[in-house]
Amino acid sequence: MTFKFPTAYTILFLLIALVAAGTWVVPAGQYDRVENVTLGKEVPVPGTYQQVDSNPQGVVVFLAPIAGFYNPDSYEAAAIDVALFVLIIGGFLGVVTKTGAIDTGISRAMVKLKGHEKWMIPILMSLFAIGGSTYGMAEESLAFYALLIPVMIAAGYDSVVVVGIILLGAGIGTLGSTINPFATVIAANTCPAI
C-alpha cells in the first residue's frame, strides 16, 4: 500500500475545519469602519482595532464553499460568476490541450524556425502576453512549462529562458489587462460611479 496524496477537495475541507476550530481559540476583533467617498465603500480606520465577542463556528461551516458562490439566506450571487468562468476557461484549455493543437503548433513553429530559434522567445512571450491580457492567464500557464522546457532545451536554451518566457509574458499581459474579466471587474468595482 502506497501513500496517495489527498485530493484538492480533501485539503480544502481540512483547511475549513482548521479555520472553524480556530474560531473557538483565537480571540475575535474588528476595526472601526468609515465610508470612503472615493472608493464608494467602507474602509477600516487604522489604530481602532478592538476585541469583540467571538462567534465560534460549528459543523455548519462546511456550507462555506456554497456560501462563497451565493448567500443561502438572501440567494444573492457572490462569486459564482467567477467560478463558472474559471470552469469554462479550464474546460476550454483542457479540450485544446487534449487535441494536441498547441503541441503541434509549437513543434511546427520550431521546425519552420530551424536556425532562427531565437525568434521563438518574442513570439511565445507575445502569445502568453495576449493570454494574460485577454483572460488573465497566470495559473493556467503552469502546463506549458513541461511542454516548452524540452523544446527550448533542444533549441539550445536553458530552462530559465522558458520560465522567463512564460512568467514574464503572462505577467506583462496580466499587468496590462485589456479585456481580462478579473482585472476589469476589480477596477470597475473600485472606481466611483460616474
Interval 21-40: pLDDT, tens: 999 999 999 999 999 888 77
Query: What is the pairing mode between strands 29-30 and 33-36?
Result: unpaired
What residue ranges do the domains of the chain occupy?
8-78, 81-181
- CB atoms under 10 Å from CB of 162, counted, come to 22
Q: For residue 80, what are the CA distances in angstroms to 17, 21, 148, 162?
A: 22, 26, 33, 34
Cα 4 → chain centroid: 26
**What is the reported pTM?**
0.54
pLDDT by residue (tens digit) across 110-129? 788 888 888 889 999 999 99
Closest CA to 64 of 130, 120, 19: 19
